[in-house]
Amino acid sequence: MPTRSLLSWFATLAVAQAISRSITSPNFTGLSEPNATLSAGKHATCVTGFVPIYAAASNTNFLFSGPANNFEATDIFIRYTQANSTIVEDLTGSLTPVNGTFNIFSKLCYPSKSTTPPTTVQILTHGGTLDYTYWDIAPNNSYVDAAAMEGSATFSYDRLGTGLSTRPDPIQVVQMAIQVDILHTLAQALRTGRFGGHRFDKVVGVGHSIGAALSQGVTRLYPEDFEAVILSGHSTSFADAIVGAIGTGMQIANMDPSGRFTGLANGYFSLGSSISAHQFAFYKYPHFDLNIFNSQRAISQCNIFGELWTLAQVYVPAPAFTGPVDIVNGQNDFFYCRGDCTYPVNEAALALSTFYPAASNGSQVFLVPNTGHNINAHFGASEAFNHILKFRPCNERREERGEDVVGFAKFEGFILQLS
C-alpha cells in the first residue's frame, strides 16, 4: 500500500496547492468578551472568550477551612507527606452535592489553512500550576500548532480555579469531581455546536497531569464522550506526586510577593520564587530553553487544596472505555515516575494496561527522552508531538477529506502512518 498512499498524498498536495486557502472570518457564537488570535506558530486561527458552564457533582466535605498562615500551611503539607499519614482521612467528611455556573476561559482554534472546519476537535486540559497557554507556549512548543498542521481543531481552557476562569472556594468546590463534570459538559457542548457556531463529530480528550487524570475521569463515567484519549504526565504511581508537590515550595497564594493572587482564598497555593521550586518537579535540566522556563515561571498558577486532596478519586481504571489510548510521559518525569519512567517497568505502558483494560487496537505509549514532567516546555516537545501525530484517531480522516497537507512538518511520520 505505500506506493498508493504516496501517490494519493501527492494528489492531495497538488489539489492543496491549486486552491488558495484562507480561514473564514471567526465566529464568536457562545463566547463572551471574544477575541480573535493566532497560535504561536500561526498555523491555527483561534477565538477566545468566556463560556458559562453549569456543573454539579458529589464533592467531598473537608473538615478544614484553610491554613491561617504559612506555618500552618507548611505543617499541613508535612503531615500530608509524613510516614503513615492519616491526615486526609482525618479531615474527610461526607460526600456533599455541589453545583454552580462557572465562567470558563476558553480558546477554540482551527487550522489556518483549512477552508472548512475540521470534524474532529481535541479538548486540551492543562495540569496543575499551569494554565491554557501550556498548549501554545511558543512556535516550537505548541501542541495547538502541531494539531493544526495535522488538520485538527483544538479547544483549550483554564480549569476551574485557574487563570482567567472562576476561582471559587479552593477546598469545598475546586475538586476532581466537579472538574470532571465541567470537562464532560465542555465535550458535549463541542458536539452540539455551542461554541464557534460549529458542531464537531468527534472529540478527542487530551490532558496533561491533573488534566490527564480528569480526562481519564471522564472516560470512566462517560465512555462515549471521547473517541480517543491522549494522556501525558500520567502513571499509576501518583503517590510520587505528593513529593513533587512539596518540591514546589508552596505558600498561601494571596501572600505571594508578586501580588498576582491577591484576594484568593487560603487554599490556593502559589509556587516558591526559587528556581528549584519551578524546576524540581517539572523540568529535566538542561533540556529546555531558559527563556521558556523563565516565561513559564512568571505565569505559573496555583496548586489547589481541593484538587490535591481528591486526586486519588480519579486515578482509577476506566474499563468501559474501548477507544484508543495514547500515554506519553517525559522519560525523566519526576512527578509521576520519581525521575525515571523506565523503572521498575515502563510506567506509561503500566498506566495503559492498568487504567484502560479495554483500550482498542492502535493504543500506544511513548517515553520522551531527556524530558521532564512538563513535556511541552522541553526541547523534546516536538518529538512528543511527532509521536502523537502518528496516533491514527487524530488524523486518519485527514487524507479522506483531501485536506491541505502542505504545512505538515512531519513528512516522514505522515507517510509512515499511511502505509
Binding of residue 119 to ligand NAG (CB under 6 A): no
Instruction: Please count the helices (runs of H) and the strands (runs of E) in the chain.
Output: 15, 12
Shortest distance, position 124 Cβ to ligand NAG, whole Å:
18
Between CA 166 and CA 154, with CA 28 as vertex, the angle to 5 degrees is: 75
Stretch that binds ligand NAG, among 29-37, 293-301, 322-330, 365-373 (CB under 6 A): 29-37
Binding of residue 201 to ligand NAG (CB under 6 A): no
Give the nearest residue (CB) to ligand NAG.
197
Distances (CA, A) of 281 to 163, 243, 275, 276: 21, 8, 11, 9
In angstroms, the CA 59 to CA 335 distance is 25
Binding of residue 90 to ligand NAG (CB under 6 A): no
Q: How many CB atoms neighbour CB 285 within 10 A?
A: 12
3-state per-residue secondary structure call for 49-84: EEEEEEEEEEEEEECCCCCCCHHHHHHHHHHHHCCC
Sequence-ordered alpha helix ranges (H) in 238-282: 240-246, 275-279
Tell me whether residue 148 or residue 213 sits nearer to ligand NAG (CB atom).
148
Indicate the SS3 state at residue 30: coil
Distances (CA, A) of 126 to 118, 210, 211, 328: 22, 7, 5, 14
Tell me whether residue 173 or residue 318 sits nearer to ligand NAG (CB atom).
173
How many residues form the binding site for ligand NAG (CB under 6 A)? Answer: 12
Binding of residue 33 to ligand NAG (CB under 6 A): yes
Shortest distance, position 378 Cβ to ligand NAG, whole Å:
12
Binding of residue 370 to ligand NAG (CB under 6 A): no
Shortest distance, position 309 Cβ to ligand NAG, whole Å:
19
Q: Which of 23, 46, 49 is nearest to 36 (CA)?
A: 46
| Contact by Cβ (8 Å): 178, 59 | yes
| Contact by Cβ (8 Å): 47, 97 | no
In angstroms, the CA 50 to CA 115 distance is 26
Residues 133-152 that bind ligand NAG (CB under 6 A): 140
For cell 512531519, what's the residue? 410
Could you give the string, one character per residue 52-71, with x where binding to ligand NAG holds by CB under 6 A and - elsewhere?
----x---------------
Q: Which of 292, 314, 64, 85 is nearest to 184 (CA)?
A: 314
Tell me whether residue 12 or residue 165 sits nearer to ligand NAG (CB atom).
165
Stretch that binds ligand NAG, among 27-35, 39-47, 279-287, 334-342 (CB under 6 A): 27-35
Binding of residue 197 to ligand NAG (CB under 6 A): yes
Tell me whether residue 269 or residue 408 sits nearer to ligand NAG (CB atom).
408
Shortest distance, position 84 Cβ to ligand NAG, whole Å:
4
Sequence-ordered alpha helix ranges (H) in 264-401: 275-279, 290-298, 305-308, 334-337, 347-355, 381-389, 392-400
In angstroms, the CA 50 to CA 186 distance is 12
In angstroms, the CA 229 to CA 323 distance is 8
Tell me whether residue 41 or residue 247 sits nearer to ligand NAG (CB atom).
41
Shortest distance, position 186 Cβ to ligand NAG, whole Å:
18
Binding of residue 11 to ligand NAG (CB under 6 A): no
Binding of residue 276 to ligand NAG (CB under 6 A): no
> What is the edge-to-edge ordering of all strands in the sheet holding 153-157?
32-38, 44-62, 92-111, 153-157, 120-125, 202-208, 228-232, 325-330, 364-368
Which residue among 2, 6, 22, 35 contacts ligand NAG (CB under 6 A)? 35
> In one letter, which amino acid is 100?
G
Binding of residue 22 to ligand NAG (CB under 6 A): no
Shortest distance, position 260 Cβ to ligand NAG, whole Å:
16
Shortest distance, position 403 Cβ to ligand NAG, whole Å:
20
Binding of residue 419 to ligand NAG (CB under 6 A): no
Could you give the string, one character per residue 222-241, with x where binding to ligand NAG holds by CB under 6 A and - elsewhere?
--------------------
Which residue among 48, 156, 175, 364 contacts ligand NAG (CB under 6 A)? 48
Which residue among 8, 27, 386, 417 contacts ligand NAG (CB under 6 A)? 27
Binding of residue 116 to ligand NAG (CB under 6 A): no
Q: Which residues bind ligand NAG (CB under 6 A)?
A: 27, 29, 33, 35, 48, 56, 84, 97, 99, 140, 197, 361
